[in-house]
Amino acid sequence: MDINKELLAFLSQADSGQSHDASGQDQADNPPCKKMKLESVRAGEEASAEPPALEAQPDAQPATVKVKHQNTSLLVHASIYIFRNELQVCEVVKKGGYQFDSLLLAVSLPAQLSVREHSCWLHIKKELREKSMCVDKEDVVQVKDAFKWAIQALVGRELGASMLFNGIYMYFYVVQSAFEVSIGFTHAETDGDCHFLATACSDCFKPAKNKASVFTRMAVVKALEKISDEEFLRQYPCPPARPATKCTPLETTCLHSSVFIAGRYNKFSRELPQTPWVIDGERRMEGSVEELIAAPLLSSFRADGRPFAMELVNPHRVRHTKAEVRQLQETINASSDKIRVRDLQIVTREAMGRMKEGEEEKTKSYSALIWTKKAITKADLDVIGNIKELKIDQKTPLRVLHRRPLAVRQRTIHSMSASYLDTHHFTLLLRTQAGTYIKEFVHGDFGRTKPNLGGLMETEADILELDVERAVVTCDQLSPTVS
């Protein structure tokens, strides 16, 4: 393909000047410096230069990039099959069935490539100094960027999507894409190229629990910034030897940013838990509010992650009209008579954040049927109605301790009222801060909630029935993003 030949022609240049070993002693002290340009212009006259000799390999061959100085070849990057990887990337994306208008290509090359690039850079710098020329390292295109420039246009054209850079390259400024495709390579033959840096710059290589090797790209780059040129040249060949094997491609992975769903629901069964109730690997109750709502959403969005507050992880389908969202709501409501959903809508991550931030200010109203061990009278309930803005401290309840961290949370009981039923039963109405464990407030949870209703009434109390009457949680403040 033409673009392959153009890339090779751009990077593979033949220089007719004399070749020198970069590891040798400098021949000139403080040579004059000239900035290299694409067009050579000398003072007082125009200079024309013949284009460099170009060397392009057939399309079927691996793209091996070389820098030539007479008869000396420097390996800049070894054996990346540009078009083979283009086909592999496109096949993986198409197979996944993702919806996207643009994509970001993330490339991970072996960490030791940074060492080889540094060696090549020192060699080139030496050559240029001997020609009374200089160039900044920032002006040299890295292999990683060259590879991305070569492959992303091909991938974008094949998939019919615009390609986004992650940052500023050349003169283009682009934004982050919601869809990211990651490709990577390994090269076992040169894995040991980094090892001498661990001795020269030991502080740069710290073991980490989540890292399989200390020789990460960031650690290697940091070490190369610290090590002196003289020390590097003593430890590593310059130019580096050409590898005999090719890079091995890793698995191509795709990831779309999450889609967030918000809405209101009503629960019509006391036997239905909010979330799946599993203890020690054993399911205690069938079904949950989360599962009943999530199942149709996971199917529609084809998300492959567990929903978290209706965060659909890595969705393949992301385009849903308002009519389709309404149909999803109807599907959820038709699936069970235990719950009902309304105001279902797609929202932004920022809107979810605002909902989370406002949790402390939300309130809920409950009605509960209370049993007391001691016989009570109507007068005994008067003390309850006089309690306002009661602050309580709640340790994580025993019933949820298997899935929530141990902590003490302060909550507020804003108001309470009671209606007498008989000598051992009454109805309790209360308005509380969201996040209050009502059952534990009533019976005390073996002293883990203080103060509690039983303690206030000086008797043992328990809750027989609990209903949510009203939840002051506003989805109306969220901005739907349904197209």
Tens digit of each residue's pLDDT (9 = 90 or more) over 178-233 = 888 888 888 889 888 988 998 888 888 887 766 667 888 888 989 998 899 899 99
In the prediction, which pLDDT does 284 show? Answer: 72
pLDDT 10s digits, 358-415: 666 778 899 999 999 999 999 999 989 999 999 999 999 998 888 889 999 999 999 9
Q: Which CATH number fits domain 262-357: 3.30.2130.10, 3.40.50.300, 1.10.490.10, 3.30.70.2510?
A: 3.30.70.2510
pLDDT for 443 beyond 70: yes
In the prediction, which pLDDT does 367 show? Answer: 94
The structure's pTM equals: 0.58
> Could you tell me the two tokens for 75?
């390996």
| pLDDT range class, residue 481, cuts 50, 70, 90 | very low
> Could you tell me the two tokens for 5?
């030949």
* Spatial CA neighbour of 115 closest among 225, 220, 227, 245: 220
pLDDT 10s digits, 336-346: 888 888 888 88
pLDDT for 50 beyond 70: no
pLDDT 10s digits, 445-474: 999 999 999 999 999 999 999 988 887 655
In the prediction, which pLDDT does 304 show? Answer: 57
In the prediction, which pLDDT does 318 show? Answer: 87
In the prediction, which pLDDT does 411 show? Answer: 95
In the prediction, which pLDDT does 374 show? Answer: 95
| pLDDT range class, residue 476, cuts 50, 70, 90 | very low
* Spatial CA neighbour of 371 closest among 273, 464, 306, 283: 464
Which residues neighbour 240 within 8 Å (Cβ) at sequence distance 6 or greater? 74, 75, 115, 116, 119, 120, 193
DSSP 287-350: --HHHHHHHHHHHHHT--S--SSSEE-S-S-----HHHHHHHHHHHHHH-SSEEEEEEEEE-HH
pLDDT for 144 beyond 80: yes
In the prediction, which pLDDT does 54 show? Answer: 34
Mean pLDDT rounded to a whole number for the chain: 76
- Reply yes or no on domain 360-483 having CATH 3.30.70.3190: yes
Q: Where are the domains of the chain?
A: 2-255, 262-357, 360-483
**Which of the residue ranges 72-76, 343-347, 438-442 would you say has the lowest mean pLDDT?**
72-76
CA distance 25 to 213: 36
- DSSP letter for 55, please: -
pLDDT for 256 beyond 60: yes
